Structure 1
Amino acid sequence: MTSLLRTAPRSPATAVAVRHPDVPAGRRLSGLDGLRGIAVILVVVYHLFPPVLQGGFIGVDIFFVISGFLITGLIVAEHDRTGRFSPRRFWLRRARRLVPALVPVVLVACTAAWLLGGDVLVGLGWKLLGAATFSYNWVSMATNTSYFGSGQPELLRNLWSLAVEEQFYLLWPLLLLLLLRVRRPGLRLALVVALALASAVWMGVGFSPGSDPTRVYYGSDTHSFGLLIGAGLSLLLRPLGPATAGGTVAAPAARRTLTMMRPWWGAAAVAGLIAAAIWLPADAAAAYRGGLLLVSALTAVAIWAGVAGDRFGRMLDTAPLRYLGERSYGLYLWHWPLLVLVQLVAPFGRGPASVAATGLLTLVLAVAAAATSYRWLEMPIRCQGLRGAVGQLRAKVMRVSAPGTRRRYRSRAALVLAAAVVLMLLVGTGASVVTAPTVTTAQAEVLRGQQALAQAAQAAQAQAAKDAAAQAAGVVTETTRGSNITAVGDSVMLASAAELQAEFPGITIDAAVSRGMDAAPEILAAQRAAGTLRPVVLLGLGTNGPVDQADLAAVMRVIGPSRELIVVNAFADRDWTAGVNTELAEFSARRSQVVLADWSAAIAPHVDVLADDGIHPGPTGGAIYADSVAVALERLPGAAPSRAPGADTLQAFRVR
């Protein structure tokens, strides 16, 4: 996301880097600050108040189109004005524009994360490398980090879009200079449109319904169509030749009609963007197979209507939207790290009220940080360069200090204090990388469970040999409490494996990370076919997605009327958790052979014994998990004691 290149610190509109056919020379493009303000509102609301705008992530695509439009205009304008273009100077200007605001965000966020500790530090070294090299999107994909995941707090996640834009800025000037050699403007524009469509098609092809869309969302190859559409709009609004008099060829009557209808087209485009922000889900195929492309096209229409300088552009540039648009870069940078940090320290608890409180606190801090960055860092460096900005700041300190010797000492003290703060932030950032744990607390608990299962498997083999020898000798072996229980679960059950084994010796546990209820019928059917499915089946599969009635019906068909079932509900701060728990409660209430283990109610008063993700239990939490299963086990009508593990009486069974 890039902001404006301005020639003055304060202005209601964007500098005319791109001539619009109806905009006189010397005017500034209107509407872009307001459109940028709308975009940052959508993104911030999407992150801070997730239930409000499920499609607010489209704000990033609005930024992409604006960026492609402005950057292309700057390049072409310089090329037309001077007959040449220096990519080196362009890249230096981009760095001067983007880096000063980015550095304090990274240093402050990493230092605060180091002071807080925990999961927020995991993988931070790689993320810092991505931030420093503007390759955050590819680093995230290489480390299997999901944009849409909520399991681990990712401090600098929002830098992915900055990386996509910077990679575009690196390659686009070189490609554009080649395109400018094409003498036919129509062909030049067609080539840009073809590139945009190719990127959009590649996103659609790469998207797999039901899977995590991070790859196609983060990829510079799959998510550059917005930047290219903005670039194409910039080329479209360039003079196409002497006969056009600075505009596109159009009959006078058609031109008058177009001019008259332009504000209405712009208003309709903005209305379409708001509708997409409300109703376009981030995990829907519609978003990646045409939805985001449509958002980019609507943004281009809004830009076209706004830069003409008529009433639509003035409407977009209302004071609040213009204020946010001018500070949108800083607000975008600050809001996400602040949200992660506030969630770690704010004592708001869970639920809608806590989400609102956390969001409001983060919003206040982010707006204050963005305003400070814009006033004291971004604008001075943008207008005067780093050295000039430091000199101006020193002069201001001198003016407000006491006269004479005291003025000089206070000036030096202020500079020393500033240097000390920067040094502390550098030390804190370095420490955040050096002291970062290798795995999250949730991953550590899952590894503990995997080790418990591995040890139990070895012990089971040894016990099986002893039992075989005892049976050969005619000795009756003692049945353990868990010998009649087959457990199938997700990572929460896996983290509780050691405690389940202690509570129910002899239990068999098949648990895996990211497993959902849809996997249960196949797993249970395989165990039934192998003769290892026991009289009591324990299912803990509600953490990773909604529970479907068809899957529960399939489970009942597999286990048959002779077996009993315990279903464990879920405890996780995820959209589907409430629905899962309601579904399982109703399912168990309608069937005498099914009992609910209320893990959610049991763990709710003891969230401090969970990992940092608030989902996976440690040893104490695992004991609570096992106790909730024990309570449910006592409520079962009772499995037939004579039935051997794996016995099957499934013929003609139908779910009630």
Structure 2
Amino acid sequence: MSAISTSSVARDRLPGLDGLRALAIVLVLAYHLFPGLAPGGFVGVDVFLVVSGYLITALLVAEHRMHGRIALRRFWARRARRLLPALMVMVGLTAAVAALIGGDVLVGIGWQLAGVLTFSSNWWSIAQGSSYLDQTSPELFRHAWSLAVEEQFYVLWPLAIIALLLIPRRWLRVALPLALAAASAVGLALLAGDPAIDPAPASVAYLSTLTHGFGLLLGAALALGVDPLRQRASAHRTPAWAADAGAVLAASGLVALALVLTIDGAATYRGGLLAAALLTGALIACLAHPGGRAAQWADAPLPRWLGERSYGLYLWHWPVLILLGAALPAVDRVGGSSWLLGLAALAIAVVLAALSHRFVEQPVRTGLAAAALRGERGWSRPRRAVLAGGTVLALAGLIAGSALAVVRAPAQSEAAALIAAGQAALDAAPAAGPLRIPPQDRAPAEPGGAPLPSGDQIVAIGDSVMLAAAPQLQARFPGIAIDAAVSRQMHQAPGRLQRLADQGALRP
């Protein structure tokens, strides 16, 4: 998400990228806030990753060309100033609100905070067995996995760039990150397997830096190949109209992927995410054409405004959605009225992102806050004291809120407890075969209703809801055969039925 954290100089020289970031955040918001609107809107994250790899590599290469070296400590300090202030405010404030709400929203908050604060959320999620495909108990900071992937790239990639720039031939400098990107994409496809059968490997593959780092590497390879910040006049053989058409086609392709891919679909891991990264690279190349108009369209006022605040929008939208869902349990987050929750979360996130950009991100990034504290902006000593004291109190409040959230966190969510009880009931139930009982021997009908089959006539296939309801189903229909699993999707049901039929276990 820190693809927006480039210097103003880089942003001026690389037109159209604010619009590209705007497209990415719109896809992510549609996916998270309005279920079903863009089932594959998660590809927006891959757009961000490609843009980030491209911009960071371009800046590092330009610095090396200008000064003959890369100042690593200064680079990492710039990343910290750009990322940490807004992140700390979001984490502290949302954790404090979660502590006030209490309940399921605090489950796992301790390891989530550890992951966010160390930029290792993806590895913490993998270690905890938390499934990205599981929506039973969504974590407050689940979205921080992508920040972790990017930050790990920021730590390691500058060291790799120093070594790559020692290679005299440009084609080889480009080929190496491309080879690593190919290996990462192949690893994703192989590790993910078929999410319809077992979603756990797909979740690990999606969260891992090793198998979801190809977007960053593709962006880096593109920057190494074209060196976008080099001051030179280049003749483009591609007509401007062709570049504009390519930009429109690439953007349309990203939208199409957002409409057809699903997080539990095998196609997503077997080329879908890679296609999104490749389309983003092509779109960047088309936007860079000096005679094209696509970059002007992308840099229109609204896309530019969204792009400049895309980091804040990404930070805030998910925890706001989760907190609203916890505070308003009567509104189903995935039901028919979920759009109301999504609209409320969107409005709040936009306001918070705008405030964060104006009062947190910009003052720290530009050095305005530090200069004011040193008295270099004409601030009087009392005003500086108020600013310093307010900052300290705010930090103390954020830390206290986070600590309270950890203290109040329950061991597991209510849904997880019900699911565990349901699984225990299924494990304790004796195995039953496909009994064939004549209709006249079935259980009596409900008063005023049609005859109901007995439990040994029924096979029930479902997801975590059915799993949680297993004890009640067994009590009402003794002998019922229940085949339920967390995160199972409706489109998987025909396959389960077919397997039961092949095994001779499909009841009437």
The alpha-carbon deviation at position 294 of structure 1 amounts to 1.7
Indicate conservation of the 8 Å contact 1:147/1:214, yes or no: yes
How far apart, CA to CA, are the structure 1 residues paired with 2:260 and 2:190? 23
Which secondary structure state, in structure 2, belongs to the residue aligned with residue 308 of structure 1?
A: coil
How far apart, CA to CA, are the structure 1 residues paired with 2:423 and 2:258? 42
Identify which of 7, 10, 16 aligns with 2:10. Answer: 16
Distance 1:82 1:284, change over 3 A: same
How far apart, CA to CA, are the structure 2 residues paired with 1:142 and 1:372? 35
| Residue in structure 1 matched with residue 450 of structure 2 by the alignment | none
| Residue in structure 2 matched with residue 628 of structure 1 by the alignment | none
| Residue in structure 2 matched with residue 276 of structure 1 by the alignment | 257
| Residue in structure 2 matched with residue 431 of structure 1 by the alignment | 404
Indicate conservation of the 8 Å contact 2:64/2:70, yes or no: yes
The structure where helix makes up a greater share of residues is 2
How far apart, CA to CA, are the structure 2 residues paired with 1:511 and 1:32? 51
Which secondary structure state, in structure 1, belongs to the residue aligned with residue 13 of structure 2?
A: coil
Is 1:343 the counterpart of 2:325 in the alignment? yes
Indicate conservation of the 8 Å contact 1:58/1:277, yes or no: yes
**Percentage identity across paired residues of the two chains:** 42
Which secondary structure state, in structure 1, belongs to the residue aligned with residue 113 of structure 2?
A: helix
Could you list the per-position Cα deviations for residues 64-117 of structure 1 after superposition, in whole angstroms to 9, with x for gaps in the alignment?
111001000111111111111122221111111100110011111111111111
| Residue in structure 2 matched with residue 464 of structure 1 by the alignment | none
Question: Mean alpha-carbon deviation: is it higher for 550-559 or for 53-62?
Answer: 550-559
Larger RCO (CA within 8 A; separation ≥ 6): 2
Question: Mean alpha-carbon deviation: is it higher for 550-559 or for 270-279?
Answer: 550-559
Structure 1 residue runs of 5 or longer lacking an equivalent are: 9-14, 18-26, 399-406, 458-483, 517-541, 566-593, 595-656
Identify which of 150, 155, 168 aligns with 1:165. Answer: 150
Identify which of 332, 340, 343 aligns with 2:314. Answer: 332
Give the letter for the 1:319 counterpart: P
Alignment of 1:280-319 (within 5 A): 280-309=261-290, 310-319=292-301
Is 1:77 the counterpart of 2:97 in the alignment? no
Distance 1:392 1:157, change over 3 A: farther
How far apart, CA to CA, are the structure 2 residues paired with 1:6 and 1:543? 40
Distance 1:357 1:191, change over 3 A: same
Could you list the per-position Cα deviations for residues 600-656 of structure 1 after superposition, in whole angstroms to 9, with x for gaps in the alignment?
xxxxxxxxxxxxxxxxxxxxxxxxxxxxxxxxxxxxxxxxxxxxxxxxxxxxxxxxx
| Residue in structure 2 matched with residue 36 of structure 1 by the alignment | 21
The alpha-carbon deviation at position 370 of structure 1 amounts to 0.3
Is 1:551 the counterpart of 2:497 in the alignment? yes
Indicate conservation of the 8 Å contact 1:381/1:389, yes or no: no
Is 1:118 the counterpart of 2:112 in the alignment? no
Give the letter for the 1:262 counterpart: A
| Residue in structure 2 matched with residue 182 of structure 1 by the alignment | 167
How far apart, CA to CA, are the structure 1 residues paired with 2:271 and 2:427? 47
Indicate conservation of the 8 Å contact 2:372/2:384, yes or no: no
How far apart, CA to CA, are the structure 1 residues paired with 2:30 and 2:81? 29
| Residue in structure 1 matched with residue 439 of structure 2 by the alignment | none
How far apart, CA to CA, are the structure 2 residues paired with 1:233 and 1:326? 22
Could you list the per-position Cα deviations for residues 126-146 of structure 1 after superposition, in whole angstroms to 9, with x for gaps in the alignment?
111110111100110111111
The alpha-carbon deviation at position 240 of structure 1 amounts to 13
Indicate conservation of the 8 Å contact 2:112/2:121, yes or no: yes
Distance 1:181 1:445, change over 3 A: same
Is 1:63 the counterpart of 2:48 in the alignment? yes
TM-score, with length taken from structure 1: 0.66
How far apart, CA to CA, are the structure 2 residues paired with 1:94 and 1:228? 18
The alpha-carbon deviation at position 153 of structure 1 amounts to 2.4
How far apart, CA to CA, are the structure 1 residues paired with 2:475 and 2:255? 54
Distance 1:416 1:188, change over 3 A: closer
Give the letter for the 2:4 counterpart: L
Indicate conservation of the 8 Å contact 1:200/1:293, yes or no: yes
Is 1:149 the counterpart of 2:108 in the alignment? no
How far apart, CA to CA, are the structure 2 residues paired with 1:503 and 1:283? 33
Kindly name which structure, 1 or 2, has the bigger radius of gyration based on alpha carbons. Answer: 1
Identify which of 215, 225, 235 aligns with 2:214. Answer: 225
The alpha-carbon deviation at position 497 of structure 1 amounts to 6.3
Indicate conservation of the 8 Å contact 2:58/2:223, yes or no: yes
The alpha-carbon deviation at position 380 of structure 1 amounts to 0.6
Give the letter for the 1:276 counterpart: L
How far apart, CA to CA, are the structure 2 residues paired with 1:43 and 1:508? 44
How far apart, CA to CA, are the structure 1 residues paired with 2:289 and 2:502? 65
| Residue in structure 1 matched with residue 370 of structure 2 by the alignment | 387
Is 1:4 the counterpart of 2:4 in the alignment? yes
Distance 1:45 1:446, change over 3 A: closer
TM-score, with length taken from structure 2: 0.83
How far apart, CA to CA, are the structure 2 residues paired with 1:7 and 1:61? 22
Which secondary structure state, in structure 2, belongs to the residue aligned with residue 52 of structure 1?
A: coil
Distance 1:383 1:543, change over 3 A: closer
Identify which of 211, 226, 230 aligns with 1:237. Answer: 226
How far apart, CA to CA, are the structure 1 residues paired with 2:398 and 2:337? 30
Structure 2 residue runs of 5 or longer lacking an equivalent are: 431-453
Alignment of 1:458-469 (within 5 A): none
The alpha-carbon deviation at position 392 of structure 1 amounts to 7.8
Give the letter for the 1:551 counterpart: L
Indicate conservation of the 8 Å contact 2:420/2:468, yes or no: yes
Distance 1:49 1:364, change over 3 A: same
Q: How many residues of Structure 1 are paired with residues of Structure 2 in the alignment?
A: 476
How far apart, CA to CA, are the structure 2 residues paired with 1:258 and 1:67? 27
Could you list the per-position Cα deviations for residues 158-211 of structure 1 after superposition, in whole angstroms to 9, with x for gaps in the alignment?
100000011111111111111111001111111121111111111111121123
